[in-house]
Every structure is written in C-alpha cells, then in structure tokens.
Amino acid sequence: MNIEEFFELSAGKWFSHRTSHHLADKQFEHGKSDIIIETLATDHPEVIKLCQLYEIAPDSASCGARVTWNSTEPEKSNGSTVLVSVPDADNPAEGKLLRQMNHTEKAPVARRYKIDSDDALTLTTEYETMWSEERLWFASPNLRMRASVLKHSDGFSIASFTSEIRMGGSPPAAKASETANSALS
C-alpha cells in the first residue's frame, strides 16, 4: 500500500468511536463522531493553498483529502480540515503530511507519515512542547483502527484508541444503510 491508496481506502463515511486513557490519573473519556473523508485532486484549490501555506511546491503533493466530522458524544460539535501528503523524493513510503491549521496553532505544524510493511500508516507530529504518534490500519476495508500516544516533556500523558466502521461510500448516501449492514463482514 502507498499513501495514495491509503487515502483512497479511507474515503467514505465512517462511524468513529474514540476512547482516551489518561495515563497519570487512570481515568478515561470517550467520544463518538460521524466522519466523512473525501479525496481531493492535487490541483484542487484547497490543496494548492495548503502547499503554499507550508511553502511547498504544489506539484510535489501526491494526494489530498478533506475530513469532515460531526461529533455526537460527549457533546455535539463539528468541523473539517484538509490533509495533503508530500512524499519524500528519495522514498515515497515516507513524507510530510500537511494539515490546515486549527485555531490553537500559531504556525504550521510539522507532521510526518510513514507506510510500513504491514500497510499501516504512522503519523508523527512535533509540537513545541509535545509529541504525538498515531498508527492507523485497516482490519478490513470496512474497519479502520487508530492507536495514538501523546507525550509531553514530562512523559506520556494520553493513549487513545479509535475504531471506525464504514457506514457507506461518499456520496451515494442512499446506500448507506445497506452498506452498514455488511460493513463488519
């Protein structure tokens, strides 16, 4: 699998269930969201804009995606972001992952991706005072899993796990319920 195929396989509508373990105080929290992932062509205006923000030549992008989420638990919220992969010239199994800045970020954040020999995608993010690593993999084409750790300067703080069940393709929403019934096969 390459990063472009991982994006393609991720496209669609997903039910996403996340649990976070707070390691220091042994508490946990959970959340549920509906997520829509759409792939974007590398000449899409949003992809070009994101490359420009990171000062990267748009023609070095290999694929883009828009991720839109609609959280239902613990509270209702929604949002969207755009992601763009920029493979390393000498090894396309690794590269930069660009993401739209959110309101808590003062500057573009450096993210790296890596596709390993098991077809899992590992994302690492370096913030000023923390570091995170997330591994994403498909148990089947309709069941995506994510496991991540967040580390601050004083140690690991949160381990999170997300299971994501495909609820239908995008955009043929009319077929969603039909697909949901067979999504776990």
Where along the sequence are the contacts to a second copy (CB under 8 A)? Answer: 15, 17, 19, 21, 23-24, 26, 28, 30, 32, 116-118, 133, 139-140, 143, 145, 147, 149, 154-157, 159, 161, 163, 165, 182-185
Q: First CA to last CA across the chain, in angstroms?
A: 21
User: For a second copy, which is the closer residue by CB, 116 or 178?
Assistant: 116
User: For a second copy, which is the closer residue by CB, 127 or 156?
Assistant: 156
Shortest distance in whole angstroms from residue 162 CB to a second copy:
9
Q: Which two tokens stand for residue 184?
A: 């776990």
Shortest distance in whole angstroms from residue 145 CB to a second copy:
6
CA distances from 140 to 109, 119, 166 (A): 31, 12, 10
User: For a second copy, which is the closer residue by CB, 52 or 140?
Assistant: 140
Q: Which two tokens stand for residue 167?
A: 């609820």
Shortest distance in whole angstroms from residue 117 CB to a second copy:
6
d(CA 133, CA 144): 17
Bridge partners, 86 (sequence order): 96
Phi and psi angles of residue 175, each rounded to the nearest 5 degrees, phi first: -95, 0
